[in-house]
Copies of this chain bind each other. A is one copy, B any other.
Amino acid sequence: MAATILVVEDEPAIQELISYSLRQAKHTVSSTKNAEEAMKIINDTLPDLVLLDWMLPGMSGADFARMLRRAARTKDIPIIMLTARADESDKVTGLESGADDYITKPFSPRELLARIKAVLRRRAPEAADDVVEIGGLRLDSATHRVTANEIEVALGPTEFRLLHYLMTHSERVHSRSQLLDQVWGDHVFVEDRTVDVHIRRLRKALENVDKDGLVQTVRGAGYRLSAGQAVNAG
């Protein structure tokens, strides 16, 4: 599943527990105690999900959530609120402020992970822990393996992410910029043409199992991964 998760929680014990659980589940975790610092982190790189304590020193969790929802860049980040109170009115305010889900302390790591998975699945198909199979090519994000006819394909990290994204969003054309946003991250400054090079590396790796035809170029538009062979009526 491997997502990047930002935890904003001021109680050290809970912070610790959460971070540990998340890391166990192979997530990448960054954490802070307050909204201000969280903003700084987010400004640098966008996480896949934010775990947000309801009660925070300084700016409250609800306000922070609202703020994230307001800014264009952050408005689509999934947010899960953590709260100590099982008070109904909090729940309402929490969801109203734009949270995707809500979890009441005390909670089990198991429950937390389940909710995270659910939210991620809803928001970003490629972050969920799945096995994708298209055109005889199989990618298992849990074991981090790509195979075709039982033969394993060796891929570098970037090529893996690229293929993963393409497979979870197949049949659709993605421009180079879109791929950069989605695969590299939105605040990474890399040339558009770099995508070409990685597409090339990906294709080269797929040649070994005769699946390089899946990655198609759409001139003037970008790239597409498709099981349907590019039929040239002509």
Q: A: which residues have CB within 8 A of B?
A: 35-37, 39-40, 43, 59, 67, 70-74, 78, 88-89, 91-92, 95-96, 98-102, 110-111, 114-115, 117-119, 121-123, 126, 142-144, 151-154, 156-157, 160, 171-173, 177-178, 181, 186-187, 189, 205, 208-209, 218-221, 224, 226, 228, 230-234
Contact = CB atoms under 8 A, between A and B. Distances in A.
Contact of A71 (B71, B95, B114): B95
Given A70-B98, A114-B189, A144-B218, 13 more contacts: A59-B92, A67-B96, A72-B123, A73-B119, A115-B187, A117-B177, A118-B186, A118-B187, A142-B171, A144-B224, A154-B232, A154-B233, A154-B234
Contact of A67 (B67, B95, B152, B221): B95
A49 to B, nearest CB: 12
Contact of A151 (B95, B157, B205, B233): B233
A72 B157 CA distance: 31
Contacts of A220: 156-157, 160
A181 B71 contact: no
Contacts of A43: 91, 95, 102
Contact of A88 (B36, B208, B221): B36
A89 B36 contact: yes
